[in-house]
Structures are given as structure tokens and as C-alpha cells.
A and B are shown apart, each in its own frame.
Chain A
């Protein structure tokens, strides 16, 4: 089967235009959840249908697309979405962060700093940060409208009361431009500092919930915290066992049945690039060829 039967990037132009309007509105009101008419996509909800629709609406034939899942270019979800756009849009793809013009991501922000002109598209399962304590959508919308965000701190208070510290380690809530409280999608809080002041455009798509929100370049993004329990972007206290990086987000990998483990960069492109430059970690394959 070829891609000839499809319109460019799968969605019809009317739908893409509708999504672009939502994206422009979202960029104009940073952090605000814009409803959009989410379409059925040829993949199940939870597999990035929101992100895919946003990516489809952004792609041009000249774009170079990168897709990552938990930082990796080679997981099933990333591979299938990349293939989807190769087939339906015929765009170039890449695994190199710095070469991509559009990056669709699930649960990570690439380690390599993004640049102006790049678009980062997040897949979002639950766009509403207040839902944890207030399940009524009518009420949470009202709370956003009136900037009633005390409840968000109740969640953090409960964390400290129960665990002695803010135990929320991913989907850590942020306030955008001093106005809207936003769920940054389930990225590790380690990535939160990259949300603010970022030269790239950041777009968030929630397919099942039919919401789009956005951070324009260089947005002011603050992670919520208490004066006496300030936000800390923590990570595992290790270096990457493959590339030796001490400042990247690590995955823990169990390597045998006896509980042996290694820590590796979750960002596969970052890790591979470092190894190509000759960096070596504790368990890196020896030898001079990467």
C-alpha cells in the first residue's frame, strides 16, 4: 500500500485548518486549553492521537520529522508514528534532534537544546492539572477563568505531608506567564526547566480529551512549589553507563535475572552522539569504533 490514497499528512485540509486555528489561539493564550474537534485517527487513543493531529497540522513537505517515545527514537510507538508520516506525508525523518524541524514527543524533552524555528509537539493524556482534586470539568474551567489555583498547592501539600517532600516526579504542574496553570504532560520534572525560555515552539495535543495548548518561544514557565519546599528538578544520582553523561535524564535498565542494572540516557540520540564523540561510560563497549 502506498500513501497516494491519502491527503498530505493524512488529515484533510479543512481539519488541518481547524487545528491550526486552535493552535494559533493556544499560542496567543499560553497555557490555556483550547478545545478542538479531535478526529478519529488510525491508532488507538493513548497512542498519541492528539500529538499526531497537531503534527499533521504543522507539517509541510520540507519538514524533517523526529519522533521520540520516552526519549527513544526506536520504540514501537515512535517507530510507528514516524512510519505513519513517512507514508502519509512523505516527509524526511531524522533521529538527530538538531536536524529536526518538527519533533513529536511522548514523556520527554530532548537533552540537546532546541533552537528557534523548531516545533516540539507533546502527546498529552490528561490536559487538566486540577482534575486530581476537582473532577468536575465545569468547576475546573471556572477555576482557570478566575485564577483559583489554591487547589494545585493542596496537591503539593498532600505530597509533603505524606512523603516529606514533593513526591510528584512527572507531570509536575507549572504556571505559564503568571496566568494559567498547565500540565506539561507526563515529562519528568527534570525536564521542567526546559519548558521556560525555550526558543522552540511547544505544542500540546490531547486527542481523547480534544484539547490543545501551547507555549510560544521564550515563555515564562514556573514550576509550582512552596517557599520552604522549593522545586528541584531531580534525577537519579548516576552517570550514563554508556556515554558517561552526568547531566542527562537516565533510565534504569535491568540487565539480568539477578538484579544487575545499568543506567542509560533516556534520550537515545543524545547518548549516541556523545558516544560518537568518544565519551564512554562505565559499561560502554570498549574499542575505538562507536
Chain B
């Protein structure tokens, strides 16, 4: 479902002497449907960079990233937009939303963008918020006013509201208490069971051991760090 070949990336900082900083070289990776692959490696080794490239958020210099039948590296922006809408979900560490939009709308939005009728979308958003223990009295408020843990759970609900065939998870269990952590791990297991291909970063080792089928050390792809 996700297939990375010969992937390379460098940053060129034009306003700082045009220094080219290679951050990834010759990366290879595959994630099959129903599989969860965890990225590991020391801080700064490029785990997040790789995730961002798969999502189309960072450009690649060389190589290919196939998600489903689209090569993200060479795709048109609108193809990536369509991919993100229907195929590739992303739970980032930070919630970025329009201020003053109610939580229920924030979570339902991915479904609304897919054309799901509003009542169905909201019903599904409500089920997820309930599972993730966001009290109903908060649903009409904007999540921008919430605590870090609550924002994280809203973000997860938003990422799981549609059954994406592929999912990127960046520290989904960070800053969660035991009960909510358990709920998130169950969501991941359910997604795997329905055939989702998941690529994730988990600092929480117990969580990683529980949901990941394989681990990939990105240090191997880091220029200057590769063993």
C-alpha cells in the first residue's frame, strides 16, 4: 500500500549561504495492507521528515513514494489533495484548525469533504469523541481552548473518522493517560484489522511493541549517520 524507493531529500537554505543540507538518502520502505510499520532512530535522524514526505508535505529530490497507485513524489498537487481526502490519513502531533469552529465540526470535516451527509458525519464524529472520552459539553466549543491531551484526542478522532486505506501516525499516544492510550491502541488495531496500512512514530515502546508488525530504523537512510 505504501512503497518507498530510492528516496532522497535535502534542504537548501537560500538565505543562509545556499547551504544544501542532505537529510535523507536512498530510503526504502514498504507497508502492506493490514500492516503497521514503526519508524525508529535517534532524534533528528529523519523520522518526521520521512512521514512528511509520504504525506506530500515535504518534497523529495529523488526516488518514489507510492501510496495506493499514486507516486506522491511526481504527483500534481490536486492528485495529492485527492489522495489525502480519500486514501491517506494523517494524525500529526499538533492540531491546526480554524479558531472558533466547534470540535464536532472539526472531527466531522474529513467526512464532509468526502461528501458524506452532515448528519451521518456528525454521528460518526460523535461516536469517536465519545470513545476518546471528550465530554459532550465540549463538542460545541473550539478545540483551540482545550488542554494538550484533549487536543491530541480531537486530532486522533479526526484522523480516524474516515476509514483511510493508509494512515500516518506521529506519536499518537503521547500525552495520553492510560485509559485514552488504550482506546487509541484499539483504534489502531481495528484499522489494521480492516486492512489499513499504517506508518507510525511511537516513542512509547510498549505501544510500539503492541501495534507494530515491523520496525524500520531511519538512521540507515540518514546521510552521514548510516552505519
Q: Do chains A and B touch in the complex (CB under 8 A)?
A: no
Q: Give the B-binding residues of A (Cβ under 8 A).
A: none
Q: Give the A-binding residues of B (Cβ under 8 A).
A: none
